[in-house]
Structure 1
Amino acid sequence: MALNWNDFGEVALVSIGATVGVVIVFSLGVRALVPRDVNGVRRRDGARVRPPTAGAKAVAALCFLACAAAVAYGLYLIVPQFH
């Protein structure tokens, strides 16, 4: 049995890239939901914070939806009964 190293490397690079992409998009969604103080700077003590705006919640929802779609597509590719 011969192993095609070019294909193996391509699959490894694509999977690592997709994983990093999903993690970045998810972290952007979490970052959009972080409360901020009245001057727009995040505070550790939580004093005088304002909740995220509707736009920030929409961005977070889109980020989480994109992550869920990537996971669903990965499951579709892995499970042969879905084809």
Structure 2
Amino acid sequence: MDIEWGSLGGVLGVSLGITVVVVVMFSLGIAAWSRAEAYGERSGATRRGVLHRGSGTVAAAIAMVCFAACLAVAAYGIDLIIPD
């Protein structure tokens, strides 16, 4: 039995990179979701003299995009694991 260390290192690098990307995307989604809730609680309120009417909607949209990206990566990984 022979191990191709270069291929093993490549798989390790890609796996580590994708893991970091998914964790960061999920964290950004959680942060955006909490920001959307905070804007929803004080709808119409001003912050530092600037009116943020659509910011809650934008933050919620960013959160959904982040969560969708995490879901897509997980679905692709499951598709790779499960044989056809």
TM-score, length-scaled by structure 1: 0.77
Amino acid of the structure 2 residue aligned with 1:74: G
Query: Percent same amino acid at aligned positions?
Result: 43
Question: Which residue identity lines up with residue 70 of structure 2 in the other structure?
Answer: C
Higher relative contact order (CA 8 A, sep 6+): 2
Larger proportion of helix: 2
State how 1:1-83 maps to structure 2 within 5 Å. 1-34=1-34, 35=38, 39=47, 53-81=56-84
Give the number of equivalent residue pairs: 70
For residues 61 and 74 of structure 2, the distance between their equivalents in structure 1, rounded to whole angstroms, comes to: 20
1:53 match: secondary structure? helix
Alignment root-mean-square deviation, CA? 1.8
Structure 2 segments unaligned to the other structure (5+ residues): 49-54
Gaps of 5+ in 1: 41-51
